[in-house]
Structure 1
């Protein structure tokens, strides 16, 4: 018997066995079984397949005749038959297993040969849970359900299908690599969508899941051996592109995706929105480093946002499938606001378990929630949670915890319920071909992780938790945890965490400590941390030492910048050149700046141009300014246009150079300052002859009407700019009407502007209402301005609201508004409210409010606290607060040493005040 015949026989035998199970189950239940009943059941929902007895008899003959192999076109009918028989037999359906059986039973197809690369054939991945697809609720224990709920295709699925199908269709003659990342909150269906997309790949494709020894290292290793027709599975892609080797992994992946010899290659990824933003946020001017340059270049434009909830357009198909799948029916009925996938993934069940947990179980969960929101990596050391629970229990509760109770509680929390994992589950790994290995780490369920971030965002972590983190946090989390401590003003704790990182050998911990101390105004202490590393050859430390010495020892700083540059940090040439130029050593500065420009360092050409211009070498300066402007845009465009005019270039020549830059800036649309637009307007405003020549184009025959309108509007705008006044000069502007006492008319116009989104118009409407004696309307508009983020209206709100409702209600409203904006990263309102409270004689109330805001994570509140102390005349406390921060329990810290651990052990300990 041939191999293919054996595979066809295997399909037949398994179909025959499944039918027999269905027949016996029906008989035990007192129900009849016949092929006629099978045909009738297949014709009804959820199957909807018209399959005759002849077809079933071909695949599963009742006599001894040889069964026929189902054709490709019949595969869906066979799968429907499998689902029906499984349902009657009370069995779950492994659809990937049956699809593989059907495919293997088909006549042999000739596939192109290729060297075997990493991974396994995609058809061998039959268990979605091995790829971290969330297990779903069990639908009340209904039998015969597929492994995963029936799938509702949504807009992100169609986008992903276009990506995959496009790649597969081009693969025969045009190898290419494609990256597609789904970005969405926890349990919104990202990983399931990627799983469904795998079904679109031909069976000869391979799937690679790089994880060991670490995601980034595994990815780098896999990319070295990758072969065409491979899919890379990068679920939670931030794990692969962050950390010490994340940038190296991103660079390698970019290279492979652009290598035609490696294609076709599909890379599927998922991540959360906040983590995506961290990877793609642009480098800011003044940043000394760019921690995610390669990741940003790799990822930008390669994602699709998965919505948190089902859209209205998705609901009809969801309702249709819910009639056939009780899990979907339950999620449709119970999932709030269209959050279907979250409910299916067990979100509600997890919340129920958390809310009904024992005191000990709840302490374990909440400590995990707090540790995660403070920045700890996903694997949580079990000993860390055990050391933390005492701070989440009362003294009496903790005294009652007996030996074995914690282990028992963790075991219960790891148990799956209703088809989904428990709140806290052990972290395991498995080497290829080896047994599953249990680690000493646990993982908090994603849904509870996000629930904790939202529900506990206003709760200060227990003071004792910070000590537990210093003693037991995972080594790779120390730097992130130190940043969280610093945000809360716990400066001593932040340095202890960084010291623990240094002691544990965490790369970058000492440099992070030096940067922290430098930014807190302690450069001498910072030098103690990074100088030994710099002398040992650490490039980042060299740059930090150089930066620390720029103000006091610029000659030494130049030497260190040069060392860093020679070691591969191109920005060292730029900083050395700038310092040398400032010192008047122009020849040496030119050498360094040329090295920076040659290395492609951002700002290198511009700084070199400034030096050359200073030396009167205008032509050379212009060449480099143009290179900077054409490569990076920005203010260099304005400077280039000005220098071209200074050189005597005609207006048309400058305009011809500016227009391509304007088109490029329009395509980028990055939300920054539109410097090209500024340069273009300025150039036109300075050249009346050029404007006149452009006006003549408006009157030429054959010009497009839209072109005429746009050019006319542009020139009218620039004419006003040239006059130095862009404000309309007629008397019908709202401001003109207001100045002439026509307040009601001005109010109408300002309201129209406010309704179109102009923020300053809201304040004008409020002020006009107040002028007209309409106090309540004025207050409502001032409050609207405050809700829009304007802190300058708080005194007006305090004045009007206090008179109407009293000071307590007023300050409650103001603090609530400021808290909401503080959570979004806008601190100015808190400062304004604190100052109003001080003026009202309620300084202690303001301090308590700021202290609470700081302990819950507002990175600005502890500095505002120091400012308020100073304004209240408590200078010594203010100075101590700025220098030492405060303790997690809420008191200003006593002086503490900032010396690194090695110095303290040697006994050369200086207090920060020495």
Structure 2
């Protein structure tokens, strides 16, 4: 089962298919097929769930748990100290094992997310086979294999943001897994979660919308604080692991998991290296990798890319006056273990010296804006649609709207919801003609919320008569947002009675919790200057005050 998109191209139709290819079916096409692009693997490549490890035997390091400082017993992972959220996490996981569903653990880097989820998985679902894909294609192939097996399985998505976007983990795939009673356990750094749930990246009114925010909003989320509670510290004090006991000395400043993973020490090591006699070139290589990670481009990154990009950081810090070390020495320094736990740069999956990615603790603590060179490099290497989507999301958070446009324009034909978001971007930039074109195109592609966005745009540009058509269509179809926008439009044009009726209907139908809507208008257009003609700018705040559901926008 997959996602089919169709776009006119010249005299024919361009076709794109996302999902696992199934043979033996019939394809019905009403127009000439120019080309068919398949972006996934065939059924012959499906993995065998019997080869996946049961949760009780799974290795925590393979799950993504940070290696800790070495201990007296030489164990890579310290003794686990129960967190306050463990009981709730276990309950959600048990429910997901019965009915399917997504359980998401969020928190800062090194807050202990992956370890807590890993321990809950081993405790609650010890016999479930664990599917831990490395990319969206592996995820979808594994999901298809799960649906064909009788063995209980669980999907493990550490750093969930790597799997979101077109052709990745969406509501359709989650629904299929839920229907099979397959739980999904995921982790996500809090900054990444926030960026994907910004209003501009929310879902729409489409039942089959594939927005990342729709997936996140459907999750049972458990958040772990970086600093530990008094009860957690008391339990840590009863540990027999000397590493845990040693970490208590720094409890006022750091979280225990944070200290055990050597995050603060590595950050200090990086910041102290920008001096003559230090490792300025190595620090610049780390800075390049950190900025690439902040662009949303998933690592590891080729050595050649880091070498090309690092020179900007080195020059800004002083260049040759710092007497930088050789390239080999720089990589050796950046890859050296700190307290035997981890390093500033981590080797890629192959373990060689040709690809690297930064320790994520550094990414979360970076303060300077991402350089233009890093954004450019990310766009060059973001070749897959899901990668371009993620770069665009990161650019939204960074308020780099030029990068958002460059990231999403090449993939807008794959998903009308992306067209909806891009149209909202154009509205923010006051490129109203392009915004209108994008909303109309997205609406034709199936994005229902784009019709509401189109009506709002037309009203704000003094075309109230045109605006009423799409707004009324969406309001009559049950869209709460369209009801309130239409009501205000009617009030502005002197039809108070009908306006009051739509306000009343919206309030009545909104008594049940609404689905989160795309809702980027108050966030985006709230920054625009008051229009000089037609539409009364003050309506938006009045509508927001009268509708408790406008907050979900």
Equivalenced residue count is 460
Corresponding residue SS for 2:80: coil
Q: Could you tell me how far 1:204 is from its partner in structure 2?
A: 3.4
Q: Could you tell me how far 1:508 is from its partner in structure 2?
A: 5.0
Corresponding residue SS for 1:179: strand
Matches within 5 A, 1:97-246: 117=49, 120-123=52-55, 125-139=57-71, 142=72, 144=73, 146-167=75-96, 175-211=98-134, 215-227=135-147, 229-242=152-165, 244-246=166-168
Whether 2:209 is the aligned partner of 1:295: answer: no
Matches within 5 A, 1:203-602: 203-211=126-134, 215-227=135-147, 229-242=152-165, 244-246=166-168, 249-259=169-179, 262-263=180-181, 265-282=182-199, 294-300=211-217, 302-321=220-239, 324-354=240-270, 355=272, 357-373=278-294, 376-391=297-312, 392-393=314-315, 394-397=318-321, 405-428=326-349, 436=350, 438=352, 440-453=354-367, 456=368, 461=371, 465=373, 469=377, 475=383, 507-508=411-412, 547-548=433-434, 568=446
Q: Note closer, same or farther for the CA distance 1:361–1:676 as it changes in structure 2 (3 Å cut).
A: closer
Distance in 2 between residues matched to 1:234 and 1:275, nearest whole Å: 14
Q: Could you tell me how far 1:185 is from its partner in structure 2?
A: 0.4
Q: Could you tell me how far 1:280 is from its partner in structure 2?
A: 3.0
Distance in 2 between residues matched to 1:576 and 1:635, nearest whole Å: 11
Distance in 2 between residues matched to 1:253 and 1:676, nearest whole Å: 34
Corresponding residue SS for 2:79: coil
Q: Could you tell me how far 1:376 is from its partner in structure 2?
A: 4.5
Higher relative contact order (CA 8 A, sep 6+): 2
When normalised by structure 2's length, the TM-score is 0.65
Distance in 2 between residues matched to 1:282 and 1:518, nearest whole Å: 14
Distance in 1 between residues matched to 2:496 and 2:265, nearest whole Å: 69
The residue aligned with 1:664 is 512
Corresponding residue SS for 2:283: helix
Q: Could you tell me how far 1:283 is from its partner in structure 2?
A: 5.4
1:236–1:270: 8 Å Cα contact kept in structure 2?
yes
CA RMSD of aligned residues (A): 5.4
Corresponding residue SS for 2:232: helix
Q: Note closer, same or farther for the CA distance 1:224–1:425 as it changes in structure 2 (3 Å cut).
A: same
The residue aligned with 1:604 is 473
Say which structure is richer in helix: 1
1:279–1:292: 8 Å Cα contact kept in structure 2?
no
Distance in 1 between residues matched to 2:53 and 2:378, nearest whole Å: 45
The residue aligned with 1:83 is none
1:634–1:675: 8 Å Cα contact kept in structure 2?
yes
Q: Note closer, same or farther for the CA distance 1:399–1:484 as it changes in structure 2 (3 Å cut).
A: farther
The gaps in structure 2 that reach 5 residues or longer are 1-46, 523-540, 549-553
Deviations 1:583-632 (A, max 9, x none): 9999xx89x95xx7xxxxx86333xxxxxxxxxxxxxxxxx38x444x87
Q: Could you tell me how far 1:184 is from its partner in structure 2?
A: 0.3
The gaps in structure 1 that reach 5 residues or longer are 1-114, 169-174, 429-435, 524-546, 551-556, 597-601, 607-623, 681-914
Distance in 2 between residues matched to 1:235 and 1:303, nearest whole Å: 14
Q: Note closer, same or farther for the CA distance 1:258–1:585 as it changes in structure 2 (3 Å cut).
A: same
When normalised by structure 1's length, the TM-score is 0.42
Deviations 1:100-138 (A, max 9, x none): xxxxxxxxxxxxxxx974762415744211111111111
Q: Could you tell me how far 1:245 is from its partner in structure 2?
A: 2.2
Distance in 1 between residues matched to 2:441 and 2:507, nearest whole Å: 41
Q: Could you tell me how far 1:309 is from its partner in structure 2?
A: 0.7
Distance in 2 between residues matched to 1:290 and 1:137, nearest whole Å: 47
Distance in 1 between residues matched to 2:392 and 2:101, nearest whole Å: 37
- Which one has a bigger Cα radius of gyration? 1
1:319–1:329: 8 Å Cα contact kept in structure 2?
yes
Q: Note closer, same or farther for the CA distance 1:632–1:179 as it changes in structure 2 (3 Å cut).
A: farther
2:379–2:391: 8 Å Cα contact kept in structure 1?
no
Distance in 2 between residues matched to 1:165 and 1:488, nearest whole Å: 38
Q: Could you tell me how far 1:421 is from its partner in structure 2?
A: 2.0
